[in-house]
Amino acid sequence: MALRKGLQGALFVLGRHTEFHQTDNSTAATHETKEGRKFNDDYQALMDHFSLKPRTIEIGKSNQNGDVEAANGVLKRKLKQHLLLRRSADFDSIAHYEAFIADVLTRANRHRKKKIDEELAAMKPLKADRLPEYVEIDAVVTSWSTIRIKKNAYSLPSRLRGEKVRVQLFDDRLEVRFAGELQADMPRLLGEGGQHIDYRHIIWSLVQKPGAFRRYRYREELFPTMVFRQAYDALGVLGDRDADLHYLRILHLAASTMQSDVEIALSLLLESKTAPRIEAVKELCLAAEKKAAKDVPEITPFTVELDHYDELLGTGSDQ
């Protein structure tokens, strides 16, 4: 997806395309076969769509892409300098960071307009439509509210158990839809064997089967913060079964109300060296809720007198 996104971004800015597209032997474009490395189907389909002839450098001959590698090095140094001038490498979002990079590139390319125009004159007009920057995968939600995409596990709301969902897999995230409606949007995991588990999706099943918690495959994902982990450990004095039962009910409370309120209650109990039983946690959360309600100031309703506006505009009833 990253290759498709980058290539399309360049082609549609230029409005024209080259005869060849040259890349290295990365798995984004090639795969190993008995006859050596060959272009994979997705990459070949991308080339066909934009009428490009694919070609690669020789294995172990990175110098054959020397011009490109050198330009990448210059760009990295240029971005570093602009970040130093900006005095911060923090951005509000990825979109803001991408806009920053685009601005740096636009200013750098102003000095290359003559050469770019010469290249464009030798290129062919771009006639292909833009491809979606994702692939679609159908998956069935398991009884534990999870799906497996590219050998990684993701949790979904428990109401989707047993249903078939459609996953749109982007370069950096995935979107899950059911009956055409967006159900979840989460970061994409890289590599294999990872998991993105939201306890809010899982707890509704586990709280009905507390005995399954101790052997649950993704149990470590059900400690949203260190405080929750410490609370579970502190519950160990009650014995394994009661500790699991109390912790799952605490997690259920966090999913049903506010995780931050439950976390504060757990912290207070841990500080007092008290086992954080569910009853004690509920009591503290309820007390905090009542205090918050009491602290809300009463506001006298404000009645708008329209005559005052007439006076300001000089259009009162006496005129």
Nearest to 192 by CA among 220, 231, 153: 153
188 and 205 in a single domain? The answer is no
Structure confidence at residue 71 as a pLDDT band (50, 70, 90):
confident
104 and 55 in a single domain? The answer is yes
100 and 141 in a single domain? The answer is no
25 and 115 in a single domain? The answer is yes
Mean pLDDT (the chain, rounded): 87
117 and 169 in a single domain? The answer is no
Nearest-angstrom CA–CA distance, 29 and 2: 11
How many C-beta neighbours within 10 Å does residue 189 have? 17
Mean pLDDT, rounded, for 173-183: 94
Angle between helices 41-49 and 2-14 (to 10 degrees): 10
**pLDDT tens profile 5-62:** 888 888 998 899 988 888 887 888 888 887 778 888 888 999 999 999 988 877 777 7
Give a yes or no: residue 319 inside a domain.
Answer: no
41 and 103 in a single domain? The answer is yes
Number of residues written out for the chain: 319
Assign 169 to helix, strand or coil. strand
Number of domains the chain contains = 3
Assign 16 to helix, strand or coil. strand
How many C-beta neighbours within 10 Å does residue 227 have? 17
Print the domain residue range for 209. Answer: 200-295
Assign 128 to helix, strand or coil. coil
**pLDDT tens profile 220-273:** 999 999 999 999 999 999 999 999 999 999 999 999 999 999 999 999 999 999
Cβ–Cβ < 8 Å for 219, 275: no
Return the pLDDT at 315. 58
Burial of 298 (0-12, 13-18, 19+ CB in 10 A): exposed
Cβ–Cβ < 8 Å for 262, 254: yes
164 and 255 in a single domain? The answer is no
**pLDDT tens profile 134-160:** 889 999 999 889 999 999 999 999 899
Of 125, 154, 172, the last residue of a domain is 125
Cβ–Cβ < 8 Å for 253, 285: yes
Give a yes or no: residue 191 inside a domain.
Answer: yes
**CATH classification of the domain holding 37:** 3.30.420
- Which of 182-191, 224-233, 292-301 bottoms out in mean pLDDT, i.e. has the lowest? 292-301
